[in-house]
Structure 1
Amino acid sequence: GSTAQLLERAMQGARDAGCAVETITVTSLDFQGCQEKFFCRDHETCILDDDMQQIYPKFVDMDSLILATPVMTMGIPGTLKSFMDRFQVFFMAKYYRNQSLVSPDHKEGRNGLFICISGMDVPEVFIGAKLTVRAFFDIIDCRYLDELLVNGMDRIKDITTRPDLLDAAYKKGYALGASLVASVQSPDIT
């Protein structure tokens, strides 16, 4: 719906800035929630053998990230939150073993853009989601660069009636891409 349309505009902006993009649709992945077995305390991977094993290298190698989601019950939807929780592998490497999975030279210039919508005009509706995304970006060594937070989607109904929001998503994606192109020889945004 509206989140996907804003994401597509942001990705088009990144493409137009000269970046290659890849979309990972978390809801189409086959993975379990974190089992807190802490195998990752001593290893660079998770003991659970599922689609996350193919995702971790992408997040090590990515240059920047655009994360887009609606708010659900004042926070990140369950499947996406479970996905984020599975990055305990990155957390343990960075904070427990002091050996981030992302090399020091690759951390430079890794930026994140957060796009989030809410159906209702509820005060402070994005606080929980923003805190979670900021923590996630920190864990994966990606600086929280910018955000596009849109509330009142139940009132707006059709995001295409708000070209200003679609344009804002494009501009933020373009800015993210331009900053990456300026700092990296062969840009990719995951």
Structure 2
Amino acid sequence: MPKKIIALLGSPVRGGNTAYLFTRAVEGAEEAGCEVEKVMVPYLNFQPCMEILHCMAHEDCQMQDDLTPYYRKFREMDGLIIATPIMTMGIPGKLKSFMDRFQVFYMAKYMRMQPFISKERRKERKTLFICISGMNLPDNFDGALQTTRTFCEIIDCPYWEGVFQRDMDHVRDIRTRPEVVEAAYEKGKELCRVVGKKDL
């Protein structure tokens, strides 16, 4: 049975630079034999977390919308790809709201002390993070990285590797950076190879 990877695209621009790197990473993972479900997060119909706290005592969220099926899928997946641009020095709003809705995992792990993902299963799961930024600053990715690493801890799919490109306001077209495009493809392929293998 092929390993399952969920790939989240945080950009609303289907033909943009982030989407191009996203596609290459997915192609790499699929070529290596993984089954990848692509999720265009900006086009999902869901509300942000309303802190109803139903999940404090239950394994699900009281809110029922497009995000609901992903609670089960995130428990079953072997790996995760997140591809996003930087917006206001952080994760774009819709993707951040998607992450925030995983309070169901947070409550299970940190409040009830009954995580959905076992320690052994956690060792097999990994996240690849792909991120581009328009500006060329040394701390371009700090906010997005901290948010992503924290999300990965909450869902017990640890941050593994990243592909980054800054200064896109001047680069304009990511295809003029073939080494970055190739890195996204190769990291996607490598992710497929390493998920399911326990870290020592």
What's the TM-score bracket when you normalise by the shorter of the two chains?
over 0.9
8 Å CA contact 1:61, 1:102 repeated in 2: no
Aligned length: 183
1:42 aligns with 2:57: yes
User: Which residue in the other structure is 1:69 paired with?
Assistant: 84
* Aligned-pair CA distance for 1:122: 1.8
Q: Note if contact 1:65-1:111 (Cα within 8 Å) is conserved in structure 2.
A: yes
Which shifted more, 12-21 or 70-79?
Answer: 12-21
1:158 equivalent among 128, 151, 173: 173
Instruction: List structure 1 runs of 4+ shifted beyond 4 angstroms.
Output: none
Give the structure-1-normalised TM-score. Answer: 0.93
Aligned equivalents of 1:47, 1:175: Cα separation in 2: 37
Could you tell me which amino acid in structure 1 is paired with residue 149 of structure 2?
A: R
Q: Which of 145, 148, 152 is 1:137 aligned to?
A: 152
Q: Which runs of structure 2 are paired with 1:1-190 in the superposition (5 Å)?
A: 1-180=16-195, 183=197
> 75-84 or 94-103, which moves further after superposition?
94-103
**Residue deviations 1:133-171, cap 9 Å, x none?**
000000000111000111011111111111111101111
Question: What residue ranges of structure 2 are gaps of 5+ in the alignment?
Answer: 1-15
Q: For each residue in 1:93-150, what CA deviation from the matched residue of structure 2 results, as whole angstroms up to 9, or x when unmatched?
A: 0000011112444322100000000011022010000000000000000111000111
Deviation at 1:175, TM superposition (A): 1.1
Residues 82-91 or 7-16, more deviating: 7-16
Percentage of identical aligned residues: 51
CA RMSD of aligned residues (A): 1.3
The structure, 1 or 2, with the larger RCO (C-alpha pairs under 8 Å, 6+ apart) is 1
Q: Could you list the runs of 5+ residues in structure 1 that have no partner in the other structure?
A: 185-190
User: Higher helix proportion, which one?
Assistant: 1
- For the residue of structure 2 that corresponds to 1:145, the secondary structure is strand
